[in-house]
Chains A and B, each alone.
Chain A
Amino acid sequence: MPDVHSLVNEFVIKLQKRQIEGSKTTAKLTAELLRSFISQLRLPHSNQAGALIDAVKEVGEKLITAKPVELAVGNVVRRVLHIIREEDLSITNAAVGGLNLASESDDDDGNDEYDHPVLSASAVAAAARSALRPPSLQTLLDDMPHSAANPHTSSSGGDSEGKSKSADSLRRKLKHDVIEAVNELIQEISTCHEQIAEQAVEHIHHNEVILTLGSSQTVKEFLLAAKEKNRSFRVFVAEGAPRYQGHAFAKELASSGLQTTVITDSAVFAMISHVNMVIVGAHAVMANGGVIAPVGLNMVALAAKRHAVPFVVLAGVHKLCPLYPHNPEVLLNELKSPSELLDFGEFSDCLDFGSGSGSPLIHVVNPAFDYVPPDLVSLFITDTGGHNPSYIYRLIADFYSPDDLVVRRKSAS
């Protein structure tokens, strides 16, 4: 146990010090951390799911407060909580079935109806997801699934030894299933780029001009996938001040044989009429379909809207955040160091507080993110396919349980 805690602490410190950058890495690391946390957690005999949820919530809260601006952490925590609830529900269903079976087996009356193997909840969920149907309608109807269902198992578990034995195996099963599902989640996060890139051919056509801003791994793989399918197209890269990651991005694209043009951010409006489609990455996708994206994208989106150019946002599902941008928990921005904008030495004479009123005459603000409202976004491409901004809430209902939306307040009370 202590080593898990030290793992958690180490991760928290890394998050705090901004040593982990990028939503995908953060999401993956968070999921892996939660997996090892769950696997080492000793569960009580009764109300396992509840205990598990509380424990994960506790850790999750720590992780979220360590870097509130990185919404992917909260997303993964909520996903894991959702997984636990789902698994618990499926086991409970099975257990209820099992108990019924046990009680009926006294009458020596075998009932095939309950004999089917317990389906893995993840399989159920996956099936449900592919059918685009809520994974468990019961969860939504049932206000508190674990509080309703678990006392039942525990009380019956105490009834007889045989039953407790089955509860014991069920307990192991719950943990095992949860870990299995978390593994799947990790797999999903790590393959999200390929999943998204697979759809590239459907969106990029011959002789098109694509505009993007800054640098995004998702966008890069998307474009390269289209290139591999022998689509010939051109890419305009806006340099993405103040970090100018667009420069390196253009270099990468060019070295892969893509026809690339670099423009300044301020030239986006001038160039947008030549462009067929804007494809960008995102920092997070909010529940209303709004996007938190690298700074400068709002301007690009407005330009695209003005010229009726489709504005396509690529985002792995781990970027899907069940919160709305007006939520007080959502920090829309992070102010980075002004040294990215200007050279401290050159401006040091303007920052001399020794003269005048002592208050700085120059203030440099360097926000990292922009907010793009949903009506400026034409299409989201996630690993599950293309979606309209107005459909995002539906996806969120698939992936998150409404009980977990507020991770913090629950655990504090």
Chain B
Amino acid sequence: MVAKKGSRGGAAGEDAGEELSRDPLQAILLADSFATLFRPITLERPKVLLPLVNAPMIEYTLAWLESAGVEEVFVFCCAHSKQVIEYLENSNWLNQPKFSVSTIESYNAMSAGDALRLIYEKNVVHGDFILVTGDTVSNMPLTQALKEHKERKKRDSNAVMTMIIKQSKPSPITHQSRLGTEELFMAIDPKTKELLYYEDKADTSKGTLTLDRTMLLDRSSISLHNDKQDCYIDICSPEVLSLFTDNFDYQHLRRHFVKGLLVDDLMGYKIFTHEIHSSYAARVENYRSYDTISKDIIQRWTYPLVPDIQFLQNSLTKLERRGTYRASESESAEFHVTDVGLSRSAKMGPFTVIGSRTTIGKHSEVSNSVIGEDCVIGSNVSIDGCYIWNKVNIEDGCRLKHAIVCDGVTMKSGAVLEAGVVLSFKVIIGQNFVVPAYSKVSLLQQPVRQDSDEELEYADNSSGNIEITSVPNTTDVLEELNTEVGGAGFIWSVGEKGLEEEWRHSVAPISADRLLEIIKSATDELDTSNEESNILPPSGELGIDSDNESDDGRDDHAHFEKEVEATFLRAIHENVEEDHIIIEVNSLRLSYNMASTDCAGALFYAMMKYAVDTPHDSAGELLKITNGVIGKWEKLLKYYLPSLDEEIEVILKFEEMCLESTKEYANLFSQILHLLYDKDILQEDGILRWESEKEQADESDKVFVKKAEKFLQVVAQGGIGRRRLRVGRVGNAFLLVDSLGAMEIELDLLNEDLIGFSCFP
């Protein structure tokens, strides 16, 4: 596939050239992430210039754009714009034939939205363009996606954007992707590939997603994915720029723009997706993705953008056994002598990249790591899973595990970096100093302001210069500890989210303890849900038993109802917790041999009884009280309503009450039914099933069906506009609580085995 790309890419380039004879294929490259996830490193150097497997990230992006047939690239520089421009000027990119790179500089853009508005003002983009950030690593051919985009555009002028996605399964334990981003939920029309729903900040604890029902109005099916990764590569029509200008509050590309377009049905703009299979695309968003993408590069998923193939700026590197790359200087006189000064007793583990002119001392061990150029590594050093940049000096006996070490850092002998440490530029770690896990050390002090994550790197750049001067006279915990042993630097305090979030995005793999913790809390949840489902089967068996004993069954039933009522009243007066009521009712059920439907009925009866017993003057007041009671005990009631049977039982019970014991409710029947429906206690299906059951009944029995006629019609039509589909999550599976069942909904499930799927009709 990739191999064929060469010839195909060439031919495609010509095709594209013919098609776009007026407009060359343009790309906008945002050389600023407008985020602070790479701090403190990004205070001193823009993210796009950070080395990724010994080549600046922007190299990967530009090399890919060039090979994908893009002819004109606008590099939007904001934070550290001077550095980016200087870098580009010193590279070959500015004078490539058939590939023009120009820079757009800005000092006050605060977000991707601002950047695009500025580009719109410059009026340089004329046709469809590719929108990427400077930290994208990809080898995908754009031809196919572009063609699809153009064809769609021809048919439907509202198709303004094509988003590139790739399959990638999120971790079932941590609910984050392998790139360290939150689990992403997307609803896609399987036929047209239109994106209908995009949620990257779903609340995993709640376990439900709400989708707009209108999504299903004009399509037969939608598929809901949680196993797709957003590559942050977008093919946009020129309208996108003007959309940003029109909506001046759009800042974030995804959070505002994409979600904004999806929600806004006035303009009717549509976003489509293009899934790539064999080619690679990913974006370095945080330290975790830095680690993951580095490893993908070393494992050659990004071929031909791999260390042993020279794509312009990187030095010649040879691939050796077990995925180890070692740089060799082609210019040196004796070409077969590699420039890496590796001691004979030094051990190179698998998947390691070592840059040129780096020396490694005796008995040192390096594995799963990337080491840059001109580094000096002493003897008996152990390096595992680290990213060591250029000109780093590591003295004897240091131990490093899963850390990022920036340019010019010195580690004195015996220093230890625990997992997840980030050492920014020129930090010095003193002798035998142990840097605690997940800490970030920089020569610059942490800015006092704790801004939201919207804030950009650049805002601090201006103040960064001032802070450098203030370094010597400030003391910090680390400096105090460090100065005795000759260190320099500040440990940054972790952000507001604290350590809790730090492990998610760190370079270090999530520790086994942490994983166990998460699994434990997840299984706790599961246990409760299992409990629920465990209750169901015995009740079924018991139901048969109770049929046999129908003689005294009626008697039992009345007793049971009384007991439940008493329990409920006691609960109200003594403020008993819901869980306790559940346990008590369950034990009552077992002792009276009742089915779960009976529990629901009895409990509902108790509630309504309590409501009607509360003193009131008018029917309106009664309705209010009922509303309050049901609102308060909603959860309890829902617990006993896991399936349709229970719901029908509740309605039947209610009907019975209205006819016999508490006639006061008779006139409020429709309203209360509506209320229960509103509170999601009753589902459409339940109500409709009740209606159909009643159809065969006597005319006299249909009194209440007629009373609720109007409401039933509304329900039958598929609910009112605000009615939503609910997608519940049980363990790793999604459970779709679709009320009508008329529409087929495809779910991409992580696990085939569905827990608690029994309640689906």
A354 touches B180 (CB 8 A): yes
A266 to chain B, nearest CB (A): 22
Q: Does A338 contact B (CB under 8 A)?
A: yes
Q: Please determine whether A19 and B67 come into contact, CB atoms closer than 8 angstroms.
A: yes
Q: Beta-carbon contacts of B90-118 to A below 8 Å, as 1s and 0s?
A: 00000001000000000000000000000
- Look across to chain B and name the residue whose beta carbon is closest to the beta carbon of A349: B169
Contact (A413, B333) CB under 8 Å given A344-B166, A344-B301: yes
A10 CA to B98 CA in the complex, in Å?
10
**Chain B's nearest CB lies how many Å from the CB of A411?**
11
In chain A, positions 169-222 with a C-beta closer than 8 Å to chain B are none
CB contact under 8 A between A336 and B166, given known A10-B97, A344-B301, A355-B173: no
Residues of A within 8 A of B168 (CB): 344-345, 348
Across the interface, B368 reaches (CB within 8 A) one of A340, A345, A349, A358, namely A358
Q: Which residues in B have their C-beta under 8 angstroms from that of A363?
A: 299, 323, 350-351
> With A and B bound together, what is the CA distance between A344 and B296 in angstroms?
10
> Which of B6, B295, B319, B335 interacts with A19 by CB under 8 Å?
B6
Q: Give complex CA distance A351, B2 in Å.
A: 20
Contacts of A66 on B, CB cut-off 8 Å? Answer: 310
Q: Which of A17, A18, A356 contacts B3 (CB 8 A)?
A: A18
The CA of A105 and the CA of B304, in the complex, are separated in Å by 65
Interface residues of B in 361-405 (CB under 8 A from A): 367-368, 384-385, 402
Pairwise interchain contact A354-B288, C-beta atoms closer than 8 A: yes
Q: Which of A13, A366, A368 has the most CB of B within 10 A?
A: A13
Interface string of A351-378 (1 = CB under 8 A from B): 1111111111001101010000000000
Closest B residue by C-beta to A17: B67
CA distance A53 to B168 in the complex (A): 53
Q: Chain A residues near B343 (CB, 8 Å)?
A: none
Docked CA distance A243–B319 (Å): 22
What residues on A are CB-neighbors of B336 within 8 Å? 328
Question: CB-CB < 8 A to A10: which residues of B?
Answer: 97
Which label, helix, strand, loop or mixed, suits the secondary structure of the B interface? loop
Contact in complex: B176, A354 (CB < 8 Å) = yes
**When A18-B309, A243-B3 are in contact, do A355 and B515 touch as well, CB less than 8 Å?**
yes
Contacts of B288 in A (CB 8 A): 354
* B299 pairs with A348, CB closer than 8 A: no
Size bracket of the A interface: 35 or more
Q: Chain B 3-18, CB within 8 Å of chain A: the 1/0 string?
A: 1101101100000000
Interface stretch among B81-89, B272-280, B708-716?
B272-280
Judge if B1 is at the interface, Cβ distance under 8 Å: yes
Answer yes or no: A335 CB below 8 A from chain B CBs. yes
Chain A residue contacts of B301, Cβ below 8 A: 337-339, 344
Contacts of A343 in B (CB 8 A): 167, 277-278
Distance between A74 CB and nearest chain B CB, rounded to angstroms: 15
Q: How far is the CA of A360 from the CA of B291 in the complex (A)?
A: 11
A305 adjacent to chain B (CB < 8 Å): no
The answer to whether A340 and B2 have CB atoms under 8 Å apart is yes
> Which residues, 392 to 413 on A, are CB-close (under 8 Å) to B?
408-409, 412-413
CB distance from A25 to the nearest CB of B (A): 8
Q: Known: A353-B291, A354-B509. Contact between A359 and B280, CB under 8 A?
A: no
Q: Which residues of A contact B180 (CB under 8 A)?
A: 354
Contact string, B296-311, partner A, CB cutoff 8 A, digits 1/0? 1001111110000111
CB-based nearest B residue for A413:
B333
- Check B174 for interface membership: any CB of A closer than 8 A: yes
Shortest distance in angstroms between B177's beta carbon and chain A's nearest beta carbon? 8
B280 pairs with A348, CB closer than 8 A: no
Min CB distance A283 to B, Å, is 13
State the CA gap A45–B311 with chains docked (Å). Answer: 39
Q: Is A360 touching B509 in the complex (CB atoms < 8 A)?
A: no
Which residues of chain A come closer than 8 Å to B292, judged between CB atoms? 351-354
Residues of B within 8 A of A368 (CB): 3
Interface of A is mostly: loop
**A239-259 vs B, Cβ < 8 Å mask (1 yes, 0 no):** 000010000000000000000
Let me know if B7 and A345 touch, CB within 8 A.
Answer: no
Give chain A nearest CB distance to B697 CB in angstroms: 53
Which residues of chain B are near A409, meaning CB under 8 Å? 335
Contact of B10 among A19, A328, A358 (CB under 8 A): A19
A65 interfacial by beta-carbon distance below 8 Å: yes
B139: Cβ under 8 A from any A Cβ: yes
- Provide the bound-state CA to CA distance between A409 and B277, in Å: 43
Contacts of B312 in A (CB 8 A): 13, 16
| A20 interfacial contact with B, CB 8 Å | yes
Which of B176, B278, B311, B350 touches A17 (beta carbons < 8 Å)?
B311
How far apart are the CA atoms of A359 and B402 in the complex, in Å?
Answer: 10
B160 within 8 A of A: no
Which of these, A335, A348, A356, contacts B300 with CB under 8 Å?
A335
Does residue A228 face the partner (Cβ distance < 8 Å to B)? no
Report the minimal beta-carbon distance from B70 to chain A, rounded to whole angstroms: 14
Q: A346 an interface residue at 8 Å Cβ cutoff?
A: yes
Interface flag for A6 (CB, 8 Å): yes
Q: With a CB–CB cut-off of 8 A, which chain B residues contact A359?
A: 350-351, 367-368, 385
Determine if A21 is an interface residue (Cβ-Cβ < 8 Å): yes
Give CA–CA (A413, B335) in the complex, Å: 11
Chain A residues, Cβ within 8 Å of B227: 345
Q: Do residues B166 and A345 form an inter-chain contact, with CB atoms below 8 A? A: yes
B178 within 8 A of A: yes
The reply to whether B97 and A6 form a contact with Cβ atoms under 8 Å apart is: yes
In Å, the complex CA distance between A360 and B510 comes to: 14
Given known A340-B2, A355-B510, contact A16–B333 (CB-CB < 8 A): no
Question: Are A358 and B309 in touch, CB under 8 angstroms?
Answer: no
A366 to B351 alpha-carbon distance, docked (Å): 15
The listed residue (A13, A337, A355, A358) touching B302 by CB distance below 8 A is A337
Q: Is the CB of B303 within 8 A of A337?
A: yes
> Bound state CA distance, A359 and B323, in angstroms?
12
Contact bitstring B159-182, A, C-beta under 8 A = 1, else 0: 000000011110101101010100
Chain A residues positioned under 8 Å from B278 (CB to CB): 337, 339-340, 343-344
Cα of A364 to Cα of B368 in the assembled complex, Å: 16
User: Which chain A positions have C-beta within 8 A of B204?
Assistant: none
| Contact among A17, A340, A345, A364 for B1, CB-based, below 8 A | A340
**A349 to B295 Cα, complex, angstroms:** 14
| B316 interface contact, C-beta 8 A | yes
B508 CB within 8 Å of chain A: yes
Interface pair B509/A358, CB less than 8 Å apart: yes
Who on chain B is nearest to A409 by CB? B335
A339 near B171 with CB under 8 A, answer: no
Q: Could you tell me if B280 and A344 are in contact, using CB atoms closer than 8 angstroms?
A: yes
Residue B345 at the chain A interface, CB threshold 8 Å:
no
Instruction: Given contacts A337-B2, A348-B168, A360-B299, list 17 more A-B pairs with CB under 8 A.
Output: A13-B312, A17-B311, A21-B3, A21-B6, A335-B300, A337-B303, A338-B301, A339-B2, A340-B2, A343-B167, A344-B168, A344-B280, A351-B296, A354-B171, A358-B385, A359-B385, A360-B295
* Sampled A-B contacts (27; CB under 8 Å): A17-B304, A18-B3, A19-B6, A19-B7, A335-B300, A335-B303, A337-B139, A338-B300, A338-B301, A339-B1, A339-B280, A339-B301, A343-B167, A344-B166, A344-B168, A344-B277, A345-B227, A348-B168, A349-B171, A351-B178, A352-B171, A354-B176, A355-B509, A358-B509, A409-B335, A412-B335, A413-B333
Binding site for A on B (CB under 8 A): 1-4, 6-7, 9-10, 63, 67, 97, 139, 166-169, 171, 173-174, 176, 178, 180, 227, 229, 277-280, 288, 291-292, 295-296, 299-304, 309-312, 316, 319, 323, 330, 333, 335-336, 350-351, 367-368, 384-385, 402, 508-510, 512, 515
4 nearest A-B residue pairs (beta carbon)? A345-B167, A337-B303, A358-B509, A19-B6
